[in-house]
A and B are shown apart, each in its own frame.
Chain A
Amino acid sequence: MDAGTGTGVAVLEARKVIKRFGEREALRGVEFEASAGELVAVIGPNGAGKTTLLSILAGISKPDEGEVHVPEGEVGWVPQQAALYRRLTVEENLLLFARLEKHPDPHASCKEMLELTGLGERRGEIVARLSGGNQQRINIAIGLLARPSVLLLDEPSVGLDPRQRARLWEFVSALAAERGTTVIFSTHDIQEAERYGKRLLVLADGEALFDGSADGLRGAVREEAPEAASQDFETAFVAFLHHRGH
């Protein structure tokens, strides 16, 4: 299996999902599915509904209409801002969540995650003293403690420097390729989505505008906004959105 391309067997499905916040529709009948081991990037401008979609897939909020099918108890959720205790050490955080996950051997799970994140030597450090990138790695590791078959990452690289981003994506890609974990991540960074997402889901104003590969998106841009086709991918993407009325 190629890294992040998936097996073709759908492990997650969203059908005609609608979510409203008061009068505003944050998601308008979004349809989406992902297969095991797939790496899917959800992209779109601010307010497109990326976080709302991920939070519905994670079970944190419920759709007003539509259906969501996810493997019960096997969805790991990594929110945009690290959801961990900054006054605890790296190890204490991992141990706490391993215990709450009722792992038979929390210490072994903790050790495994420390090896996976490469933070073994910093296990005793207070999280607040770690860099944003390392905090995000622990954040993801906590999401992985449940050994999920689906991992949802909400803008995981925000605030990270290029070197930290590279390490993060290396880590995430390995999860998909080696463990067969389905990874769905949201991002603002089009280049990042193109580079790491094997599939792109484009959202704008709660609507799914495109679902396919990066090459497929370039093809759509050439077709709908030929004047931007020769530009860089981000400029072409903006032209595509503009052409679609967003």
Chain B
Amino acid sequence: MRWLLLKDLQILRRSPLQAFLLVAYPVLIAVLVGFAISRSPDKPRVAFLNEVPANSRVSVGTRELPKIGVGDRICKRVECVYVEDREEAAEEVRSGDVLAALILPADLVDRINSLSTPSPLTPEVEVIVNEEDPVKASLVNDRINSLLTQANLVIARQIAAEGGKFLGLVLDGGQFEVLGQTIQILGLANSAKILEAVRPVLPPGGLRDSVDEVIQFTTLARNNLDTAAPLLARLTQPIAVDKQVVNTSTPPLEVFAIAVAATFTLAFVTVLLVAGSLALEREENAFPRLTRGLVSPSSLLTEKVALGVGVGLLVTLLMLGGLAFFVPLHWSRFGLWLLAIVAGGAALGAAGAALGAAAREVRAVSLLAFMVTLPVAFLSLIPSGTVGPALYDVIKVIAALFPFKPALQAMTGALDPAGPSIGGALLHLGILIVAYGLLARLALRRFSAV
């Protein structure tokens, strides 16, 4: 078998483009994934135009609120690219230099202030987006909605806080600034005290009864308005989130991204190489000659899978080595990496052997390998809950029949120190190795047809 392996490696060496792609592909993927993970824009770039006059303040009644600084708050959450006018903002978005443009129009504060008047206007901010593709559009919408929710929350909290102060004045009395004048507010509590002091000197009936009614009202109003202030505060965020995590084995995003990239690489290299080299034996007419007592068909299959595992291991390790420049990897788990790559590679190689034996021609095999591997890999990445339950069940079955998903699970578990055991995934891969090995062996019978 080693001589056949040597022969396949010699053939691989004689195909410079193929050999180059085998090396260049993982390096390229490693660099791209590495940059994507390590330089992920946690602060998206947003063009920002603030047309609100600098001295404008949101007011409640006749009282102006302290400067909220919505613009400053927004620019803490995104990377603001300050622009001079709308045209510049639109151009920044069009060119793709920024994700979106946010414009606070000059009348924004006036419109907010109008909310407490008999003729309220809806405050609006202007957003310019470039929805060149649906994924980007969805991302921009989510970001903008999140930003505006945050801004609304800040304003609502300020208003609620000011409203609470007014309620305090009504309840307990105090000083109130209006038009530069300080006004003393008596408050319900003090009013009740005064009335209770006056009441004994009033003759029974008539006026005393009326004073009793006023005292009763002030007591009732105080007791109920006491709850109004915290209620007002709660209105700004009536529902809080208490997140309970039921599956604690979810790997960190960067680990999952690395595992996906590594498994994709392993899958394509192994499936294509094994399927292609097996089909080549037939195209070169060598299969009948080899299996006339020199090598058994099972040994030939084993050799092809070993070739795929060997090259897949090398290429995947090369990719992980490249990624290590960008993201810290747990080299102490190297043994588990090897186990995951070898088991995953063997199962993918066995699937490649079945494809190669079934398709028999190198070109047909290459096409078939792409047609099978790519959609199954994508199906394997669809999370539960994103499609209907019946469809997800179908996807789960398809994903379980091809080695990509268990290979990904094994790889993720091997890369993530906090991840689950890879035992289940290895068992799954073991079953698939046997199943695809048998399929390949059966399909090889057609190879012998002269």
Binding site for B on A (CB under 8 A): 51-52, 55, 58-61, 73, 77, 79, 81-88, 92, 96-97, 99-101, 126, 142
CB-CB contacts below 8 Å: B279-303 with A = 284-286, 288-290, 292-295
Residue on A nearest B450 in the bound complex, by CB: A55
Are A85's CB and B450's CB within 8 A? Answer: no
Are B3's CB and A100's CB within 8 A? Answer: yes
Are A83's CB and B288's CB within 8 A? Answer: yes
CB-CB contacts below 8 Å: B72-92 with A = none
Are B14's CB and A87's CB within 8 A? Answer: yes
Give the 6 A-B CB pairs with smallest separation, nearest first.
A83-B285, A100-B294, A83-B289, A87-B14, A99-B3, A87-B11
A224–B284 Cα gap in the complex (Å)?
A: 44
Residues of B within 8 A of A58 (CB): 288, 292
A97–B7 Cα gap in the complex (Å)?
A: 10
Are B289's CB and A77's CB within 8 A? Answer: yes
Are A59's CB and B284's CB within 8 A? Answer: no
A31–B169 Cα gap in the complex (Å)?
A: 121
Are B450's CB and A61's CB within 8 A? Answer: yes
| With known contacts A81-B285, A96-B7, A88–B448 Cβ distance under 8 A | no
Q: Which of these, B10, B290, B448, B450, contacts A100 with CB under 8 Å?
A: B290
Are A92's CB and B285's CB within 8 A? Answer: no
Instruction: Give the shortest distance, in Å, between B199 (CB) and chain A (any CB).
Output: 113
Q: Can you pick out 5 interface pairs between chain A and chain B where the beta carbons lie within 8 Å of each other? A: A55-B288, A58-B288, A85-B11, A85-B284, A92-B10
Residues of A within 8 A of B294 (CB): 97, 100-101
Residues of B within 8 A of A142 (CB): 289
Residues of B within 8 A of A79 (CB): 285, 288-289, 450
Residues of B within 8 A of A87 (CB): 10-11, 14-15
Residue on A nearest B290 in the bound complex, by CB: A100
A58–B292 Cα gap in the complex (Å)?
A: 8
Instruction: Give the shortest distance, in Å, between A197 (CB) and chain B (any CB).
Output: 22
A77–B288 Cα gap in the complex (Å)?
A: 9
Are A88's CB and B10's CB within 8 A? Answer: yes
Instruction: Give the shortest distance, in Å, between A140 (CB) and chain B (any CB).
Output: 12
| With known contacts A77-B292, A83-B288, A84-B284, A61–B448 Cβ distance under 8 A | yes
Q: Which of these, A59, A60, A61, A85, contacts B286 with CB under 8 Å?
A: A85
Instruction: Give the shortest distance, in Å, between A83 (CB) and chain B (any CB).
Output: 4
Instruction: Give the shortest distance, in Å, between B171 (CB) and chain A (any CB).
Output: 93
Residues of B within 8 A of A55 (CB): 288, 450
Are A84's CB and B286's CB within 8 A? Answer: yes
| With known contacts A88-B7, A100-B290, A60–B15 Cβ distance under 8 A | no
A73–B288 Cα gap in the complex (Å)?
A: 15
Are A60's CB and B14's CB within 8 A? Answer: no
Residues of A within 8 A of B293 (CB): 59, 73
The interface centre, meaning the residue of B4, B10, B292 with most chain A CB atoms within 10 A of its CB, is B292
A79–B4 Cα gap in the complex (Å)?
A: 20
Instruction: Give the shortest distance, in Å, between B20 (CB) and chain A (any CB).
Output: 16
| With known contacts A79-B285, A84-B284, A87-B14, A59–B292 Cβ distance under 8 A | yes
Instruction: Give the shortest distance, in Å, between A95 (CB) and chain B (any CB).
Output: 8
Instruction: Give the shortest distance, in Å, between A222 (CB) and chain B (any CB).
Output: 36
A85–B7 Cα gap in the complex (Å)?
A: 9
The interface centre, meaning the residue of A73, A86, A101 with most chain B CB atoms within 10 A of its CB, is A86
Instruction: Give the shortest distance, in Å, between B116 (CB) and chain A (any CB).
Output: 83
Are A82's CB and B448's CB within 8 A? Answer: no
Residues of A within 8 A of B285 (CB): 79, 81-84
| With known contacts A59-B292, A83-B284, A84-B286, A51–B450 Cβ distance under 8 A | yes
Residues of A within 8 A of B295 (CB): 100
A77–B286 Cα gap in the complex (Å)?
A: 11
Residue on B nearest A100 in the bound complex, by CB: B294
Instruction: Give the shortest distance, in Å, between B335 (CB) and chain A (any CB).
Output: 34
